[in-house]
Structure 1
Amino acid sequence: MGRTLSTILLCIALTLAPIGAAHAALLKLITDAETEAMLRDFTAPLLKAAGIQKKNLPIYIVNDRRFNAFVIESGAMFVNYGTILESQTPNALKAVIAHEVGHLAGGHLQRLREQSEVQGQLTAISTVLGIGVLAAAAGRDTNGDIGRMVSAFILGTASVGQNAFLAYRRSEESAADAAALKYLERTKQSPDGMIDVLDTLQRNQSIRAAASAYLRTHPLAEDRLSQVQNKAATSPFRNKRDNPKDVRRMDFVKAKLMGFLERSHSVLNRYPNSDKSLAARYARTIAGYRAGAGNAAIKQMSALVKAAPKNQYFHEMLGQMYFETGNPNKAVISLKRAVSLSPNEPELRLIYAVALADTDKRANIEEAIGQLRRISATSRKSPRPFSILARAYAKLGDKGQADLAAAEAALLNGETKLARGLAKKAQQNLVKGTPAWLRSDDILSLT
C-alpha cells in the first residue's frame, strides 16, 4: 500500500498503558479515515445514551480478522477489522459497540482490577484488562494481541479460584449485554443486532468448548443469548431496520477493508465481476491496485469518483493511488477535493499535507506546513503531524523549526531523551524569546 500516505495499512505498534511492562502487547493498528469516521459516528449516540461525556473516545481498528472488540482501562476502544466484515448489518456492529460502552459505563475495568486483587492474581489479570464481546465465549491462543490474551485467559483456567473469577466475569458480560440493549433502545435501534452477535459467539463457543471443562459445564454464550432474546422481545424497536445511509456507508467500508486486507480470490468471491454496485467496484479496484495494476486501478477509481463526486473517500483513494504511483501533483488535486468535502477530518488533511510536501514546490511545502500546524493544534496527542512537519521544514532549510517539530514528535512518542536533545539543538537555530524558542524551552523543562 505504498509509502507514508497509505491510509489503510499504516500499521503502528501501540503499547497499552494499563498492561504491565512484562506483559506489554503490541497491536497492529489500521489507520483509515473512512472506517474511523464511521465507527465514531456509530459510537457517539451510544456514548450519549450511556451518559458518557467523553466526546473524543479513542477508537482503534485492529488488524485482526477475527470477530472481536474490547476496551481498556484508559477508556480506548479497539475493534478488529474482522468484526466489521462479519457484522451483517450496521445494527449488529452498533450492538458490539454498545456492549463495549456498557463495560465503560459500568466501571467493569476498574472492578476487574479490584476483583483480581482480591483473588491475589493481579499479575495474571493485568494482561487481560481489555474486556471484549468475545471475552467470555471464545478465543484461541495466548500468542498475539490483547484480544487473544483476554479470550485465552478465560478459556485456559483450571483452578477453583480462577473459575470463581470467571463467574464474576460472566456477570459483567451479562451486565454489558443488558446495558447494550438499553442504549440501543434509547437510540431507537433494534435489539436484533445484539442477538445476531451472540448467535455468532454461541457458534464460536461450541467449536471451542471441547478444550475447556469450564465451557462444557457453563454455556456462557447460550445463557447470554437466551437472556438477551427475552429482554429484546419487549423492545418497541424490534422491527426497525437500518438507515439506508448507514448500510451504504458500511458497504463501502467493508469493500475497502476487503480490497486491502483480504486475498484477491476472496475479494472476487464476495464481489464478483457481475456485481456492478459501487461498493463491489470499489473493492475490486483496490484489490487490483494492491496486486500491482496501478494504471488500471487509477482509471477505475476515476470512474468511481465521476459516479459519486461528493464521496470524499473516493477522492482520497484516487489521491493515494496517484501519490503512490509517483504523481504527487495529481494527488494534490484529488486530496484537496477530499479535504474540501470533509474539512473536519484530520486524517484527510494529513495525507493532503504529505502530498503537498512531496511535490518539492516551495509554495506547496509552505501550504503543507500550514495544514500540519492546523492539525497539530487540534490533535496534539498524535506525533504523526509533527514528524511530517519536521520533514517539511527540513525541505525549506529551516533547521530550528525542523528540530523543534521532531522534538514534539519524540516527546509524544515517550522518547524523552531524544526530545531533550532535539529541543537543545532547535534552540541553537531559533531566535531567543520567540514562540518557537519558548516552546523548545518548555520541552526541556518537561524532559
Structure 2
Amino acid sequence: MRKPSRLVSVVAMVAVMVLSWTPPAGAQRRQEMQLLSDAETEHIIRDMARPIFQAAGIDAAAVNIILVNDNTINAFVAGGQNIFLHTGLLLNVDDAGQLLGVIAHETGHIAGGHLVRGADAMENAFLSSLIGMGIGVLGGIAAKNAGAGAAGLMLGQHLAERNFLSFSRSQESSADQAGLSYLEQSGISARGMETFLEKLGVNEDPLLTSDPDAGYRRTHPLTRERLDSVERFVANSRYGNRPIPAAWNEQFRRIQAKLYAYLDPNGALRRYRADDPSFVARYGRAYAYFRRGEVKQALPLVDGLIAQEPKNPFMYEVKGDLMLQTGRAPDAVAPYRKAIELQPDANSIRVSLAHALLEQNDPRLADEALKNLQVAAKSQQGQSSFLWRLQAQAWSMKGNNGMVAYATAEEAFARGDKPMARAQAERAEKLLPAGSPGWLRAQDIRGQAGGK
C-alpha cells in the first residue's frame, strides 16, 4: 500500500524515527505518518498523470508518488516534487478522473512554487528531511503483518500536517486554475475535478465537521467560488464531456482492490464476491487471501490472472510476494525475475528478488542479489535501510568485511542512527582500498553523521 515493499512486495523493516522539530504555534499535537510503497500503484498513477506533469513542465520520472496510510480523504505536496496521497482518498474517489483532478491540482502547487513561500519554507525543509531520511525505508505491502508489511516507516513526531500544510484560498484557487490548464492541454476532461469538489461539498464548516474528508477541507479550503470556477471551466472546455479512457478506470479499480484487500482482507472478500469473475474482483480476492496467508486459495487466482495477462509484471510480482511471504523463497525467484524482465525500472521488485535469493543462504546467489540491489540503490530505493541490510548480508556471504561495514553504515544512516553510521563508516574506511567508491561514500557518511 515497509519487510515488504509496494502494496505487496519486499518485506522491509519498520523504522521508528523520532525527529526533533518545533512546529509552529497551534501545531503542537502528536501525529504519526505511516507511509506505504507499492510499485504497481505508483506506476499506474504516474503513467495516468504523465500528460499532466508534462503539461506543467515537470519530469514525470522525478515525481514521487507516496502513499500515506490514513483513512481521511487528503492529498498534499511536500519536500519538492513529492505528491502524498492518503489511502482514504484512493479508496473514496469514484474513478480515475477524480483522482487525476486531485493530482492536477497538486501539480499546480508544485509548479506554482507554493511550498517555498513565507513561513512554509521552514516547514518544507522539515518535510524534505522526512523524505530524505525515511521515504526509502519502505518495503511493500506484505501478506500478513500490516505493521511490517506496509508501514515501512512510522514517523512519531510533531508533524501536524493539517496545520502547516494548509495553503491560502488564493493559492488553492491558483492551483485549481493551473490544474485545469494542465488537464486541458492534456486532452483530459476536468469533470473529475468538478465532481470531486462536489463530492466534498463546500457548505460545511471544516472546523466543525468530523467527516473523513475533513482532512482535505482543512488543507484545501473549499469555497463556493472555487467550485463555480471549475464548473464554468468544464462547461466551456473542449474536453468537458470526453470520457476517461476505460483502461485507466480499469487500472484504477485494480489498485483500489489491492489497497482495499491489504487494509481489510475480510471486507475485501465480502466486497469482491466469489461469483464475480471480473479481473478486478479476482485480484481483490487473491490479494485478500494473500493477506490472510491462505496460499491454497490465493495461488490459483494469481496463476489465473497471470494466464490472462502474461505480460503484466505486477501479477508476477504478486506471485513472488506470495511465495516469499509464506516461506517459499526459492519459488519466489522465477516470478520476480519475470517481473523485472517485463518492468526493468521496478526497483522495489529488484529488492524483493534480492531478498528471495538471500533467504536461501547460498553464496552462489549473492552476486545476482548484489547486482539487483546496486541497480535499486541508484533510485529512491537507495534510501531504504532494508536494501542496505540486504547488501550487508550479500557482502558477508562473499567474505568482504569492508563492504559489510560500508553497507551497514548506509543502513544505519537510513534509519537515522548516526552514531552507528559513523562507527561503521570509520570501520569501512580502514578496511576498504583508499579512493574506492565504497571508501569515498563511507567518508561522506562519516561527515554527514558528525564524524571528524
TM-score (norm 2): 0.79
Residues 89 and 247, structure 1, Cα contact 8 Å, conserved in 2: yes
- C-alpha change, 1:37 and 1:211, in structure 2 (3 Å) is closer
The code of the aligned residue for 1:346 comes to N
Partner of 1:8: 7
Partner of 1:268: 269
Residues 29 and 158, structure 2, Cα contact 8 Å, conserved in 1: no
SS at match of 2:168: helix
- Residue 401 (structure 1) shift: 1.0
Listed as ranges, the gaps of 5+ residues in structure 1 are 117-121, 130-143, 155-165
Partner of 1:206: 204
Q: How does 1:140-179 map to 2 (within 5 A)?
A: 149-151=160-162, 169-179=168-178
Alignment partner of 1:46 is 2:55: no
Q: How does 1:55-204 map to 2 (within 5 A)?
A: 55-111=61-117, 113=119, 149-151=160-162, 169-202=168-201
The code of the aligned residue for 1:396 comes to K
2:442 pairs with one of 418, 440, 443: 440
Partner of 1:318: 319
The code of the aligned residue for 1:71 comes to V
Map Cα deviations across residues 44-91 of structure 1 (whole Å, 9 max, x no partner). 322221223574122210011221100125342100122122222211
Partner of 2:283: 282
- Residue 27 (structure 1) shift: 1.3
Give the Cα separation in 2 of the matches to 1:16 and 1:77: 21
SS at match of 1:272: coil
Alignment partner of 1:299 is 2:300: yes
- Residue 337 (structure 1) shift: 0.6
Alignment partner of 1:250 is 2:252: yes
Moved more, 430-439 or 61-70: 430-439
Residues 293 and 326, structure 2, Cα contact 8 Å, conserved in 1: no
Q: How does 1:333-344 map to 2 (within 5 A)?
A: 333-344=334-345
Map Cα deviations across residues 199-226 of structure 1 (whole Å, 9 max, x no partner). 12207x63856569xx9xxx93433222
Greater RCO, 1 or 2 (C-alpha within 8 Å, sep 6+): 2
- Residue 273 (structure 1) shift: 1.9
The code of the aligned residue for 1:386 comes to W
The percent identity for this pair of structures is 31
Q: How does 1:400-439 map to 2 (within 5 A)?
A: 400-432=402-434, 434-439=436-441
Give the Cα separation in 2 of the matches to 1:13 and 1:240: 46
Map Cα deviations across residues 178-234 of structure 1 (whole Å, 9 max, x no partner). 11111110110001001111012207x63856569xx9xxx9343322221012111
Give the Cα separation in 2 of the matches to 1:274 and 1:300: 13
The alignment yields a C-alpha RMSD, in angstroms, of 3.5
Partner of 2:143: none
Moved more, 90-99 or 219-228: 219-228
Moved more, 291-300 or 363-372: 291-300
Partner of 2:151: none
- Residue 151 (structure 1) shift: 4.4
Partner of 2:43: 37
Moved more, 311-320 or 80-89: 80-89
Give the Cα separation in 2 of the matches to 1:183 and 1:397: 53
Moved more, 333-342 or 13-22: 13-22
Residues 313 and 343, structure 2, Cα contact 8 Å, conserved in 1: yes
Alignment partner of 1:394 is 2:400: no
Residues 79 and 125, structure 2, Cα contact 8 Å, conserved in 1: no
Once superposed, which parts of structure 1, at least 4 consecutive aligned residues long, lie more than 6 Å away?
14-19, 21-24, 125-129, 144-148
Residues 426 and 440, structure 1, Cα contact 8 Å, conserved in 2: yes
TM-score (norm 1): 0.80
Residues 64 and 83, structure 2, Cα contact 8 Å, conserved in 1: yes
Listed as ranges, the gaps of 5+ residues in structure 2 are 129-154, 211-216
Give the Cα separation in 2 of the matches to 1:260 and 1:339: 23
- Residue 370 (structure 1) shift: 1.2
SS at match of 2:117: helix
- C-alpha change, 1:394 and 1:226, in structure 2 (3 Å) is same
Moved more, 48-57 or 241-250: 48-57
Bigger-Rg structure (1/2): 1
- C-alpha change, 1:441 and 1:297, in structure 2 (3 Å) is same
- Residue 18 (structure 1) shift: 9.1
